Structure 1
């Protein structure tokens, strides 16, 4: 009986974590988009946010938003990227604009 209750408690925790992780993403405010973008880019390129430069937020015809910028990778050179957000402000991804020769 005790083992069953522990198992059920564990399953409830797992279920709660799954629901929380698959819930709707929180929109990023326009004011926070450049900083959020720098954080995502720095993680993608394994560098510090201080080496990431972002431009202005650009709105597309469909309402989606993007921020172009560059990241200084030292001896690897400067790489261009674009952070993309949907029209609600949800982060989509970072698109590399400079080929790494792969």
Structure 2
């Protein structure tokens, strides 16, 4: 019975289309550093970002992460026109 209730609640939340609140313009670089550090498995201290730029109707923040012996990796964070975070895109191929 508990499983059915939990499954019903999960389905309700998933179908509601709930989104996180937009990230304020001044907080986007820090948010980007946090997301990139998670993607690359490092601390935000090793992530550097440039100023946001307008791109494809939203904003992009380009940056680098120092992976030590693996080298410097380039990435970009994307935000839509409302300031919602879209994703972190790797810009440096890793030979995969």
Corresponding residue of 2:65: 71
Match of 2:77 among 67, 72, 83: 83
Show structure 1 runs of 5+ residues with no match: 1-6
Distance 1:15 1:27 in 2: 27
Question: How many residue pairs end up in the alignment?
Answer: 94
CA RMSD of aligned residues (A): 1.9
Question: Whose Rg is larger?
Answer: 1
Question: TM-score under structure 2 normalisation?
Answer: 0.85
- Poorly superposed stretches of 4+, deviation over 6 Å: none
Distance 1:101 1:25 in 2: 34
Corresponding residue of 1:100: 94
Show structure 2 runs of 5+ residues with no match: none
Matched, 1:53 2:43: no
